[in-house]
Amino acid sequence: MRCDSATYFTNRPEACVFAEVLPFLTYQLGSDHQGVAFHVFSAQYFPNSTYPKLVPEGQPQPRDKRIPGRYVPGDPAAPALHRITEQLHPGESLANKNHKDGACYGTGPQADLYRDTGLPTRPNPPAEQCDEYPFASTLEGAAHPYWDFSVKAVPQRDNGVAGGLLRSYYDRDRMLARDYDLPRPDLTNDRFYVHIQ
């Protein structure tokens, strides 16, 4: 068991969870969040087909994209995701947003970085929104220096439903935000995965 008194959970100020499990969030194809589920599936299984590209179209791919967070049953060593919050990690949260906006909309301080590799067609609001994976609320989000990411235009409703499921998952499974002060933070911080069903 692991107990905490983290104040950023909406359901309970103090709680204990069984910590010796491989935690994962499930998104379902053919559901009310189909667009996001399909995007995450593509990013996990066909990362080279996603935007932003590593190089502009027509140039040889230098390597395969590396996108973490895929649930592999029984494999605790699979590359995982780690939760961050805007309040506790303002720098990482803003950097994730800036990279996402650059790759998806061609706007913001990172726009030049993705000029020739980002989405060829911007999302069309209000019907569409930019979905990103790994999520903006993770350390491994768009600004991470090692991991790659994916952006896709998805229906606004799908994105809203999937975002609600993610927030509920964080509370329900009591996923603690990344704490750099823990001893051996890469091993002792909560990690989670995303499973597409």
Q: How confident is the model over 137-161, as pLDDT tens digits?
A: 999 999 999 999 999 999 999 999 9
Share of the chain above pLDDT 70, in %: 99
| Identity at 56, one-letter amino acid code | P
Place 189 in a pLDDT band, splitting at 50, 70 and 90.
confident
Interval 57-94: pLDDT, tens: 999 999 999 999 999 998 989 999 999 999 999 999 99
In a 3-state reduction of DSSP, which class is residue 83? strand
pTM (2 d.p.): 0.93
Q: Which one, of 94, 79, 105, lies nearest residue 143 by Cα?
A: 94
CA distances from 49 to 44, 56, 186 (A): 10, 13, 29
Reply yes or no: is the peptide bond before residue 23 cis, omega within 30 of 0: no
Q: Which residues contact 91 (CB under 8 A, 6 or more apart)?
A: none
CA distance 47 to 123: 20
